[in-house]
Amino acid sequence: MNYEFMYAAYSVAWVIIFAYIFIIDKKQSKIQKEIEFLKQIEK
């Protein structure tokens, strides 16, 4: 059995997962900043 392809597939999958988490974190951070800005305007 050729484990190199399996290793490559798992590596690509983990890279995609971490990239997705990073993108979601950036979006969540931006939304949190917008919420704080709106709270300041409301006061």
Q: What pLDDT does residue 40 have?
A: 94
Q: What pLDDT does residue 18 have?
A: 98
Give residues with Cβ within 8 angstroms of 2, minimum separation 6.
none
Kindly report the backbone phi and psi dihedral angles of residue 2, in degrees, each rounded to the nearest multiple of 5, phi listed first: -95, 100
Q: Tokens 């974190």 identify what position?
A: 25
Q: Take residue 38 and report the two structure tokens written for it.
A: 């709106």
User: 8: closest CA among 18, 22, 23, 16?
Assistant: 16
In tens, the pLDDT along 13-38 reads: 999 999 999 999 999 999 999 999 99
Which amino acid does the sequence have at 33?
Answer: K
pTM beyond cutoff 0.75: no
